[in-house]
Amino acid sequence: MPVERLQKILARAGLASRRHSEEIILAGRVSVNGKIVRELGVKADPSRDDIRVDGKPVRSEDKVYLLLYKPRGYVTTTSDPQSRRKVTDLLGGLSQRVFPVGRLDYDSEGLLLLTNDGNLSYVLTHPKFHLPKTYQIQVEGIPGADVLERFRSGIDLDDGPTAAARVRVLRSQEAKTLVEMTIFEGKNRLIRRMWEAVGHPVIRLKRTRFANLTLRGLRPGAHRELTSAELAQLRGIVENRRVQKDFHLPGRIASGDKIRQEGTPK
């Protein structure tokens, strides 16, 4: 096996995501052949070198890819100082340690991918791939066409303008509206902040799709392994950048790709 960067070795061994592996290295918790490493960019050969984290040997483990229907009232972390319920509590007697890919807020629900494949997790959350994530969102009030159009050009938030998003109205009743929304970026609490900015706070939020993955067949709190076909397609989306073609990635939505409105009240 060729030499490779330590953070990649740690991620592939399922110890942490690649980004978290970098933090572990910088903290001086990693040693190679008995010497502490505190710099990124150091390479090693996992088949020959003695690589340890906190004094424990690094060993590769079988890769696990889980699709979870996250209920509301769970945090998307593997530890929580407030002792709240964690998504990993829903996995039962799983022997491997897995990590969430991205985040869903405590009060949000829906599709969440968990894996011990740090390399895949890294690319799935990297901004340059712009993987689409789709949500069903209930908001206060009845947003008009002018409000929906703002999502197409981007909305100015405190941390800068958002990328273009896709929004369509599913139904409205009793001063509440259910919309479907697809975004292509992963800023903190982005959807809630966008709707707050246009005057229609989010009441309930559920992620229904991530790239090619959907919640079909899952109930809240349940999980299953990805099929080999799903995993192959997911990797293909990243490796071939098909997502840029299939979803007309922003930047800006193509001029002919209008925001759809279905069931918009008169």
Of 134, 166, 146, whose CA–CA distance to 249 is shortest? 166
CA–CA separation, 233 vs 124, rounded Å?
13
| Residue that has been written with the tokens 């290295």 in this structure | 25
Half-sphere exposure of 252 (CA within 13 A, CB side): 6
The tokens describing 178, both together, are: 């259910």
* Cα(107)–Cα(204) distance, integer angstroms: 8
Q: Which of 45, 54, 105, 146 is catalytic?
A: 105
Q: What is the CA 50 to chain-centroid distance, rounded?
A: 33
Catalytic residue list contains 105: yes
Residues 6 or more apart in contact with residue 252 via CB below 8 angstroms: 153, 164
In terms of Cβ atoms closer than 10 Å to its own Cβ (0-12, 13-18, 19+), residue 16 is buried
Question: CA-CA distance, 214 to 234, in Å (whole number)?
Answer: 12
Report, as residue numbers or ranges, the catalytic residues. Answer: 105
